[in-house]
Amino acid sequence: MNRLIFKLPLLFTLTALFLLHSTLVQSNPSEEPAGISARRTADFVHGVIEAGRTTYSKTIVDRLGKSGSLKTTENWKQENTLPLPAQFLMMSSHMSNQRGIGMRYRLMSLWPINPKNVPPSQTEKRGLKQVAQNPDQPFTWVVQKNGVWFYEAIYPDKAVVESCVSCHNQHPKSPKTDFKIGDVMGGIVIDLPLGRRFNKKPSDHFLFPPEVVADYVHSILESNRAVYAKHIVERLESRKILSASEHWEQNHALMLPAQFLMNTSRLIREQGLGLNFQLISLWPINMKNSPDNKFEQMGLETVDYHPIRPYTGRIKIGRKQFFQSIYADLAVSPACVECHNAHPKSPKRDFKLLDVMGGVVVTLPIR
Ligand code: HEC
Ligand code: HEC
């Protein structure tokens, strides 16, 4: 009897180990990857930042500047103009960084107009020099700050349009006056938290759960759209300077926030990273934005009553595996409700503030 009592804990432990082992094996069969590498995660984050920056520079700043509709100036608030591309990126990164999801990003340069944008450490300085010489590769390293390890990556920020060069070269505070189109003018620095528990130095091989990578992508998209909606569309409409129109290309108008997101999504697909996102709804104005399959239908129905957490799943297309997250898209401002309820093609006319109007689908390749 006594012996049995002594053996029970052992038996129990063995059974528990066996069960644990079998569930681990079940939830992680050999062909299922554990996550996305730090380098690929940084590539995805950078791809989304870059696509948002290009959408803003080309379809807003350049187009409205060339047509004489509206200028872009540093003191945009006072002068009722458009914020600079760098200011747009900084507002958006500030909003995303404030959310406290761990991933952070910012703009820096070796020749900054604003002294706040100098590289704070020798490594960042070396990284900026390296991407200026070799713009095809990001500069990456691993660093410990306050006990937490971070994977950091610097990607080059290039003069993609003539206005980048002419404005910087002529700016009284610019320390460099001979930028040419195509030059690297600075860099986008991305920080990814790796955690505390490392005995040795972590590396590129560190894997991020796809749920977390999807959250990073979603956070940047949300921040870009919110900055665009608030500081561009709502501000300029309320001051009767420009208005947003579905037919923005013909009208010298601003594109709608949904169109800003869709333009960014097209640019991301063109980058060939396999990353994608879409705005869909059970009540779409544009039928193209209806759910495409059962997963999307279920996801939209689920986030409609569980809006806090995204609906996630894995799909296989051909031999490739993808991870998908569907995030609730809320009516965050009265403009969302008013425009959708009044739109002749909207199948739903009783949206209220903070209702779930649809979902943002983020798709990541995992294998
Ligand atoms: C109309 C003027 C103007 C245009 C156009 C412009 N910039 Fe800037 N840029 C600035 C100013 C002013 C700052 C400093 C903003 C601040 O206060 O942080 C800045 C900041 C930057 C920074 C951060 C380092 C620094 O200089 O402070 C980079 C990098 C940068 N711009 C690159 C670009 C690129 C690339 C483009 C084109 C896509 C561009 N800029 C277009 C005026 C401009
Ligand atoms: C001025 C009108 C207008 C405003 C303001 C507006 N939308 Fe839309 N929205 C549209 C139009 C038009 C489309 C269809 C775009 C297209 O052709 O794909 C759309 C598309 C969408 C879609 C994709 C499904 C669909 O209906 O085609 C969602 C989701 C959505 N908007 C949510 C929002 C949210 C949330 C807000 C506020 C943050 C908002 N919209 C603000 C007009 C508007």
Nearest atom in ligand 1 to 73's CA:
1
DSSP code string of 45-79: HHHHHHHHHHHIIIIIIIHHHHTTS--B-TTHHHH
CA distances 297 to 291, 337, 359, 361, Å, are 5, 22, 10, 11
Question: Model pTM?
Answer: 0.89
Cβ-in-10-Å burial (0-12, 13-18, 19+) of 299 comes to buried
Q: Quote the ligand 2 centre to 63 CA distance (angstroms).
A: 22
Pocket test for ligand 2, best of 218, 281, 336, 354 (most atoms within 8 A of CB): 336
Whether 284 is in the pocket of ligand 2, judged by its Cβ within 6 Å, is yes
- With tokens 């644990």, the residue in question is 20
Domain boundaries, the chain: 36-211, 275-367
pLDDT in tens, the chain (367 residues): 444 444 544 444 444 444 444 333 333 444 455 789 999 999 999 999 999 999 999 899 988 988 889 999 999 999 999 999 999 999 999 999 999 999 999 999 999 999 999 999 999 999 999 999 999 999 999 988 888 889 999 999 999 888 889 899 999 999 999 999 999 999 999 999 988 876 666 666 788 999 999 999 999 999 999 999 999 999 999 999 998 888 898 878 999 999 999 999 999 999 999 999 999 999 999 999 999 999 999 999 999 999 999 999 998 888 899 999 999 999 988 888 999 999 999 999 999 999 999 999 999 999 7
3-state class of 316 per DSSP? strand
- In degrees rounded to 5, what are phi and psi of residue 101? -90, 0
Residue type, 148: V
Nearest to 53 by CA among 92, 82, 79, 81: 92
